Structure 1
Amino acid sequence: MTYLKQSFSNSILLLFLCLSLSACFKDLPDKIVFYQNNFDNNTKANFSIYSSAGLIDSLKITSFNNSKVFGRFNSNYVLFKMDTLPAHNAIKIEFDLYLHDQWDGNHLPPGAAYPDIWQMAIDNNPVILTTFSNGAYPQSYPNNYQPNMINSPALSNSWGVLPGVCSNEGKANGSSHYKIEYTTSHTGPLQLALNDVPNPVNSLCLKSWSIDNLRLTAIMYK
């Protein structure tokens, strides 16, 4: 009799757990990865690259750290556009960001009005506007840059350092690696823009950036 009571109690508990979990899971969002690119096949589908002179007719896919990356960029505006996405009310953007060589964080060179800026915008709305430092100067990331802000130490929130590629070539800490993840409410077509405003401009060997492992996910919250 004791065994039957225990068995019955266990069955009731199991049923309760199943119902509770069903109630939790039924409202989980639907997620669809609609774009993924590690650039190993040398394609930059849906991307356009601009300089101050206009559209650049170049792949801009290079080798770095034994892999292909999209870049290197300096004084460039990199635009991703996709008109048709799965049904969604939010999107998640993920990629590896590499900052190569002499990024100087929040340092203002003599006569400069701004530091080395890196920016990400979604549908023309800036969501990240920040600085990175590979040296002694502090940076603003993981926060957005503001004058008179509280500085973050160089390499804050980085995933590590890697060799430089040009002015810091051969230096073990010449590049820094960051994981960018950003989720926001969103509907309709997508326009994702990445750009830099370095000091000085058009200084590809002095400082540059690249991305890898881009993953875009459409999310439908019910």
Structure 2
Amino acid sequence: MQKIPFYRISEFHFLIRIFLPSLFLISCEDTLLEEVLIYSNDFSQLDLANFQKGRLYEYNDDTVLGFFHNEEIQLTIPNLPSHNAVKVVIDLLVHDSWDGNPDNVGGPDFWYMHLDGAEIIRTTFSNTPCGSNYCLYQSYPENYPRFFEPKTDAIATDLPGRCQYAGVPGWTVKYRITRIISHKASSLEIICGDELKQENAYSPPCDESWSIAKIEVSTMTLK
């Protein structure tokens, strides 16, 4: 079997930003021998098999997993083929007025992901417009507490809000979150959740929520 370089030069900086915050033990000298897509779900088939506390919602003419506010969901994927790493890719939708890092009545607004019980991501997002004199920074694409401008590394920033800003472009932001971890078990447990804070909102779930548009999981064999 032909060996495929695991890191391409053009992707090196991007991959370092993914790996280092989560303390992954995958060397940049590793070679990818095999990658197998074992799970892919964009929820268009209304498939919630293997989910706990999952539900579906119509957003922007698509079916998504959501919406959630101060909740946690779990996906368990059994019967994995032989491997020594897994890759998880999540298209996350951050709806309405997330406030990012500030510790006050409106935040910080956390989102997290655990893989087999280990916390891989604990970060914040901000949808608030950022000006020269006022900016509510977020921690993504790294873990809290770091400081980046709102919507940093988003793949779509012009989507309409879900509730508080329903129909208004720019109030849902889409992120493609990719993480690769060392892993050899025959099953994988993925937990995603949030800790959202909006003490002065009439309806906190309308003020801030999140959904998932797609989840993909691949097993990998590295050498």
Alignment TM-score, normalising by the size of structure 1:
0.78
Task: Specify the alignment match of 1:138 in structure 2.
Answer: 137
> d(CA) in 1 for partners of 2:140 and 2:40?
25
> d(CA) in 1 for partners of 2:4 and 2:160?
45
> d(CA) in 2 for partners of 1:71 and 1:119?
15
| Number of residue pairs the alignment of both structures matches | 187
SS in 2 for 1:205: helix
Indicate the percent of aligned positions where both proteins have the same amino acid.
Answer: 32
> d(CA) in 2 for partners of 1:98 and 1:122?
20
State the 1:23 CA deviation: 6.6
SS in 2 for 1:91: strand
State the 1:25 CA deviation: 5.4
> d(CA) in 1 for partners of 2:109 and 2:177?
18
State the 1:24 CA deviation: 4.4
Deviation by residue 1:78-107 (Cα, 9 ceiling, x = unmatched):
111123211110001012100000100112
Runs of 4+, deviation exceeding 4 Å: 22-28
Task: Specify the alignment match of 1:221 in structure 2.
Answer: 222
The structure whose Rg is larger is 1
> d(CA) in 2 for partners of 1:82 and 1:23?
29
Q: Would you say the 8 A contact 2:50–2:76 is kept in 1? A: yes
Task: Specify the alignment match of 1:180 in structure 2.
Answer: 177
Change (3 A) 1:115 1:84: same
State the AA in 1 paired with 2:127: N
Pick from 158, 163, 166: which aligns with 2:160?
A: 163
State the 1:160 CA deviation: 2.1
Change (3 A) 1:86 1:170: same
State the 1:143 CA deviation: 1.1
Task: Specify the alignment match of 2:26 in structure 1.
Answer: none
> d(CA) in 2 for partners of 1:61 and 1:23?
41
SS in 1 for 2:88: strand
List gaps (5 residues or longer) in structure 2: 6-30, 130-135
Task: Specify the alignment match of 1:67 in structure 2.
Answer: 62
> d(CA) in 2 for partners of 1:122 and 1:23?
30
What's the C-alpha RMSD, in Å, of the aligned pairs? 2.1
SS in 1 for 2:141: coil
Q: Please say if 1:120 is aligned against 2:113.
A: yes
> d(CA) in 1 for partners of 2:55 and 2:70?
13
Change (3 A) 1:172 1:90: same
Deviation by residue 1:117-145 (Cα, 9 ceiling, x = unmatched):
00011111111100000003111111100
> d(CA) in 1 for partners of 2:4 and 2:140?
35
Deviation by residue 1:141-189 (Cα, 9 ceiling, x = unmatched):
111002xx4x100111111221001011122111101011111111112
Q: Please say if 1:102 is aligned against 2:103.
A: no
State the 1:68 CA deviation: 1.0
State the 1:34 CA deviation: 1.0
Change (3 A) 1:135 1:34: same
State the AA in 1 paired with 2:152: S
Pick from 34, 48, 54: which aligns with 2:38?
A: 34
